[in-house]
Structure 1
């Protein structure tokens, strides 16, 4: 059974308001603002003026929250944020005209004002705490960052929006800056932390067998992504050069084996000099190596209502019923939720920086198994 709840201006929508919405599509992806599109029929009144029921409800920057429940699990918030766009499609045929109401998450409020930011003697996680301090964000989940390798004054100066600065700081620390819907309407959560590598409580995604709940599973491997990353830093005090290197095999992974395996060498990358001035050098090389390590990507869809949960990015889910190499844990990178009056579907993109055991069997082992 599929149920959804709609909140408008942080209050539950009335039955009349719910009846206005024909379709809902929510696009969620890591490192991007989440977006929902609500399809609302429009028409003309007796004077020929275009109208929509309760039009004053769907005004720009009105907060909208959408929650979804599948089966006996609790409601999962898909998005919480303001209306940022209204797009009308007016047709001459009755019943065909539609308004698309576009909602984005509360990171919108951090991305509306260009400023020149200056922070003195603050570490990156402390800057993140200050940038997330807006009324729409009630709580934060921020992980501590180390001090830069070089000694001396710590200073961050950057022009742009608060969200742009957050993502820039997160990237160089091997983290990700984003805003999630909170437990209650209007109380979003600001996050500044790395990807998880541990699965949560999501049910297993299964392609084959009696527990099948996947309609499709299409993997792709990019052999050019994994890289050994090196950085150098020059000390202005004693003219010494510090070198640090991070290898994909040394990173936290979603499986026991590196994505390329021992038989393939990773690419080699040298970071620009600026990375050595602003962050801990070990952190900088590990961050770029981790970002490049996600060489496996899967697109797919769940099978109708057989998957009894709601997929959400930044979580880790286990996949079974595929070949031995690809079975295991995956990061959820993108999900599209499509909800109409009669149907609900989920399509997804998963990423992985590992292979499972059994993936490195030699040709002689394979031949022995066949003959």
Structure 2
């Protein structure tokens, strides 16, 4: 599915993905990949399922002779110019055949989820005596090296293991469910990053990525440099929330107050909404825990505040070929040409990639904590 400077390669296999045969590649009509910062990524492949060729009398050729099967591994590689990027690494979870009502109208739709599905297959009960949350994460992820999934876990600030006489960590979930629950306790996120090589992925477990080098910028109203087809902004003044409450110390039994003053995240806006209108921000008593340590309660309260402060949201659509790269969620991107209030750095929440012959569209959702750019210029 080539554009003038873009090429899509589809690899499929039961265990080791290999390039899709040429006859099946020719039948590929469209590809869609949906990536968000709060759900498992998913893909959809649409094939022409017309019955032609030597296998047509018996069955649809796409199903008869191809490697596309339930639970097959699918890797999508986008090459822009000379730079290949792994767009997706996942597992086939569903196939839908529509024979159509006329010759040439048959369609096979293949859908699947990213390789974090492999961590979500078996629900178990287990105990982790004397293991910190970080140690539990590393122990679980080590099992999936054979599947090409490597650990990208970062240690949280409160990484001390619990004393066995105080508490024994337990789980009643799948590996993925347990990793996600451990992440929530620290205001962390847990997700799979495809690549860098086909057939490999990195499982990231750590704080949301809101620093570091941004991706190639999104440009609006800049003449020949424009790569955004549409872009709009919305401010939700009710999004930020401050949290307080009380927690009972498990050693002394005393009630210890827990308060939050604001977000501890590095601001992406010059005027964060929660700070500019602090007196009007909603306040909630959401900490009423007992049997947990004070540090853990404070960490969870702060995580709730940090998750709420992104009050300004941008939605738009970029031309993939003009943009010249694959826009990724859970990372930063620069915006220019929208004016000081909305230019600058943004956190990417969601990207919906659609590839068809002659077209590559990236629909995106961005977020940050307020208005005004914190940087004089953004990376082109």
TM-score normalized with structure 2 length: 0.86
- Counterpart in 2 of 1:18? 25
CA shift in 2, pair 1:250/1:56, >3 Å:
closer
Q: Structure 1: where are the runs of 5+ without partners? A: 359-371
**1:59 correspondence with 2:69:** yes
- Counterpart in 2 of 1:8? 12
- Counterpart in 2 of 1:80? 89
CA shift in 2, pair 1:119/1:270, >3 Å:
farther
Residues 193 and 204, structure 2, Cα contact 8 Å, conserved in 1: yes
3-state SS of the aligned residue for 1:271?
strand
Deviations 1:175-208 (A, max 9, x none): 1011121222332211101112225352211112
1:299 to 311, 315, 322: 315
CA shift in 2, pair 1:69/1:354, >3 Å:
farther
Residues 150 and 277, structure 1, Cα contact 8 Å, conserved in 2: no
CA shift in 2, pair 1:41/1:119, >3 Å:
same
CA distance in 1, matches of 2:276, 2:162: 35
CA distance in 2, matches of 1:357, 1:335: 22
3-state SS of the aligned residue for 1:306?
helix
CA distance in 1, matches of 2:269, 2:330: 17
Residues 3 and 69, structure 1, Cα contact 8 Å, conserved in 2: yes
- Counterpart in 1 of 2:173? 160
**1:315 correspondence with 2:331:** yes
1:271 to 286, 290, 315: 286
Q: Structure 2: where are the runs of 5+ without partners? A: 375-380
2:100 to 91, 96, 101: 91
Deviations 1:45-88 (A, max 9, x none): 6886441236440011111100113345x222111121111111
Shift of residue 240 of structure 1? Answer: 2.2
1:255 to 269, 274, 299: 269
- Counterpart in 2 of 1:130? 139
- Counterpart in 2 of 1:176? 189
CA shift in 2, pair 1:203/1:44, >3 Å:
closer
How many residue pairs end up in the alignment?
357
3-state SS of the aligned residue for 2:178?
helix
TM-score normalized with structure 1 length: 0.88
CA shift in 2, pair 1:154/1:76, >3 Å:
farther
2:119 to 93, 110, 114: 110
Residues 148 and 280, structure 1, Cα contact 8 Å, conserved in 2: no
CA distance in 1, matches of 2:343, 2:117: 37
CA distance in 2, matches of 1:184, 1:263: 46
1:345 to 355, 361, 368: 361
CA shift in 2, pair 1:4/1:48, >3 Å:
closer
**1:356 correspondence with 2:372:** yes
**1:286 correspondence with 2:310:** no
1:227 to 241, 259, 263: 241
- Supply the RMSD in Å over aligned alpha carbons: 2.5
Deviations 1:321-369 (A, max 9, x none): 11322211111111111111221111111111233259xxxxxxxxxxx
Please list every run of at least 4 consecutive aligned residues from structure 1 whose deviation after the TM superposition is greater than 4 angstroms: 45-49, 147-152
344-353 or 110-119: bigger deviation: 110-119
3-state SS of the aligned residue for 1:120?
coil
